[in-house]
Structure 1
Amino acid sequence: MFDAGRDTLKTLSDVQPEIWRKFLGRYIFKGSYKLKDYPQIDFDLRELFPGSYYYTYDSDVANIGVVYNSVNGVKYVGYRQLALSYLPDRSNPSNFGTAAVATSDIQPSNGVVHVLAITIADKIGDVPTNFAANVFGFNVDFYNDVLFTR
């Protein structure tokens, strides 16, 4: 923002509530799903274990599945981990940014929370990740929306 000649953001409240709703809505899904409620996903065998598509409250689409991690080269015997893939373009579902879930099944009084992991690695367990997953839907659109309200 500073490069655009605008004041920098000093607090989270400097961002308009409508912008927070638009972008955080990409993470809110209808229903309360725990890890055990999601189907398996295997990124090397997507035709057999594809996970499933879920709509957010704002009608964005995400692919969510449980990765059964490997141990010592043996598939599916390791820990279970959620993987969430944001699909920026519904017409091209093979173009996605995947984020591994660091902690799942946190249960406040109003739903279930899954915490995304920030990564600089290509994989977390058997979940392939990329740096784009760190922004997970908060891309240049977020920057522009905030910039145009300043």
Structure 2
Amino acid sequence: MASSSNWLSGVNVVLVMAYGSLVFVLLFIFVKRQIMRFAMKSRRGPHVPVGHNAPKDLKEEIDIRLSKVQDVKYEPKLLEEDDARLLQLETPGNQHCYNYLYRMKALDAIRASEIPFHSEGRHPRSLMGKNFRSYLLELRNTSTPFKGVRKALIDTLLDGYETARYGTGCQ
């Protein structure tokens, strides 16, 4: 009997209760975290969707208009005619490098050029969202209205466009 009372001593009981409560707390934290994780995954993200409590017609209208946003394309003009930065080019005392202004002017000039950007026989339009270099290479290699234009001229235009777009050095 003496050995059984030693087994149930006060220290052993306290340790078993401490370990039991520790396991209970850890399980509670883990289960709560998993529940929150799955609750966040089940929605369309952690935020409330657009038009959450709106009528069905309004939700559909919102979705239609939000899907149209991806099709909006706009290329702003880089330099206006009365831009103050153009005055830096005309100042005779300035010896600084203003190649970026010439590059901006070149890109604006290409957008405003008379090169017909025909796409599937439609009216001329800008090549927003398309690769201008690949368009010019295709133009050079196929039979197009530019048949009479020398390939060297298109190559020069391609090189100038690439230099204007990506060039950074001062000369």
For normalisation by structure 1, the TM-score amounts to: 0.26
* Rg (Cα) greater in structure: 2
Which is richer in strand? 1
For normalisation by structure 2, the TM-score amounts to: 0.24
Which is richer in helix? 2
